[in-house]
Amino acid sequence: MLASETDKEAREIIELELSDVQAQKKQLEEEALGMLLEPEPYADCDRVTMTFLPGVGGSESALFAKDLKEMYECYFGHVGFNSRVLQELTDANGGFKSCSLRVSGDCAYENLICESGAHKVIRVPETETKGRLHSSAAIVIVLPEVPNNYVVNEKDIKYEFMRSGGAGGQHVNKTESACRATHIPTGLSVHIQDERQQDRNKIKATSILKEKVFRQHYEEVMAERNRNRKLQRGTGDRSDKIRTYNFAADRISDHRTGVTLHGMERMLAGEYVGQLIAAYQEMQQKERMEQFLR
């Protein structure tokens, strides 16, 4: 073998090794920067409440809210999340007036928070008789479960007991079993009269009030986060239009990342959800790194 050929082969080997080292260096730099970034609030939360609501579009938006719930249930099956229905209210067409799920899984909040917002749909509704395309939207809201270490000071809660109102029998209406719990610092209040016993109504009112106080705290934390970081895309606000599902074009467009996919059946089967979430998380991580380095 000629010396020139040996030199050429050695150079190719060195270039390949150098390319691998540079790729490893870049990955390590990104991992190191990621460790320096402030953790996202509630990133390690494994349980969330996911709510589906109709937006603009009447009965069609309610039907699409139901489709979204079923889509995410398919996605949960792919990733090993568990879910159960907390509340489900339907309209005359079978669509959702409201539906809430309790979802649990490894870093469930971190994976699902970016799905909060308005999901727009363009399709011919089941109720459309002339085959015309309609545009409507459904709302997805993702909230972390109240952490075990979140405490509402008992001294900040005012309890009032009164007779239950409405139908319910002689006992319910003639004893002071109903309970109103008010959080004095925020003015938030809960009235419960579900149970015959005062103590049970008090326990339930306290639990629900704690959730309401935490939700307000959570919204304040997230609002401050978005102000500080100036992240305008995918803040979790229900007014954010995050994605459009165009059935006529068989196209799904994510407005935050610019990712476009084709295959509505696969989307509704939950197959594309993880890909869209990963693209958003990658975009957000890059934005946070850029802001950190400024």
- For residues 64 and 203, membership in a common domain is answered with no
**Does residue 27 lie in a domain region?**
no
- For residues 173 and 273, membership in a common domain is answered with no
**Does residue 247 lie in a domain region?**
yes
Considering 197, 221, 245, which residue would you say is the last residue of a domain?
Answer: 221
Residue 222 pLDDT: 81
* Domain encompassing residue 249: 47-147+232-293
Residue 50 pLDDT: 95
Residue 285 pLDDT: 81
**Does residue 16 lie in a domain region?**
no
- For residues 207 and 239, membership in a common domain is answered with no
Amino acid at 67: D
Residue 5 pLDDT: 58
**CA distances to 133, 148, 183, 184, 217 from 158, in Å:** 53, 22, 7, 7, 19
- Cβ atoms 178, 195 nearer than 8 A: no
The structure's pTM equals: 0.75
User: Given the DSSP bridges, would you call strands 117-123 and 96-104 parallel, antiparallel or unpaired?
Assistant: unpaired
**Does residue 26 lie in a domain region?**
no
- For residues 71 and 113, membership in a common domain is answered with yes
**Does residue 227 lie in a domain region?**
no
- For residues 242 and 265, membership in a common domain is answered with yes
- For residues 135 and 188, membership in a common domain is answered with no
Tell me how many domains the chain contains. 2
Residue 287 pLDDT: 79
pLDDT of 51-82, one tens digit each?
Answer: 999 998 888 999 999 999 999 999 999 999 99
Tell me which residues of the chain have a pLDDT lower than 50: 1-2, 168-172, 231-237
